[in-house]
Amino acid sequence: MLIIGDLIDDAIDRMPWLSEPLSRIEAADGVFAVNGNHEFYTGIKQFDELANEAGIRLLMNQSAVIDGKVILIGLDDESGGRSFNAKKIAIEKLVKEARNTPPFDSPPAKRGGIKRGGANLPIILMHHTPTRMKEAESAGVDLMLSAHVHEGQLWPGKYFAEAVYGVKKGLSEIGKMKFYLTSGAGTWGPPVRICAAPEIVTLVLKRNS
């Protein structure tokens, strides 16, 4: 299971109960997350601690190889990181590091076993804000997943979001790379959506024959 940022939208010390329900998420290969801009606002260190308590693997400019089948890279959110002067790392660097990691069997993680390494495995990149897509495609990413815009949340906001980021909700292609922009499941500001249905996405991955 992948969480593409903005899991929280309030100070974590106001939600001491949150790790328990999150820890009940079941996923055979583990639960992985990246930070969104709101995790920067509420506190990256606190969010890292919360994720660890809940058994969620937070990837901060890091990679993991899942069951020897796919490389998963988590890229720190650009919009939140820019506000807090976080260091911007080239996607190509993260891809090379992931491919050059020698494989080894790690002890089973709390949320599923992880095998690292795999020079020829397909690459999935998680980045909360839908930016840097062309950079990701040039670096050899096969599938990029983003969120952030909530499909505008309030009509006609989706048209402004599409104009700003140049992509629409759903699956699209950028060069050789597949790209999915989800509308997410939550809200920002008023707890309402108009013509922007929430979603939890299931993607079925198949190798090209």
Parse the chain into domains and list their residue ranges.
2-181
What's the confidence (pLDDT) of residue 85?
Answer: 67
Q: Point out the residues of the chain with pLDDT beneath 50.
A: 104-117
Q: Phi/psi zone of residue 79: left (φ > 0), alpha (ψ -120 to 50 degrees), beta? A: alpha
Alpha-helical segments (H) within 66-198: 78-83, 91-100, 133-138, 157-165
What's the confidence (pLDDT) of residue 207?
Answer: 76
CA pair distance 161, 93, nearest whole angstrom? 29
Which fold would CATH assign to domain 2-181?
Purple Acid Phosphatase; chain A, domain 2 (3.60.21)
Written as one letter, the residue type at 10 is D
Q: Are 116 and 103 in contact (CB under 8 A)?
A: yes
Neighbours of 29 (CB within 10 A): 17
What's the confidence (pLDDT) of residue 40?
Answer: 87
Q: What is the pLDDT of residues 81-94, one digit of tens each?
A: 676 667 789 999 99
What's the confidence (pLDDT) of residue 4?
Answer: 96
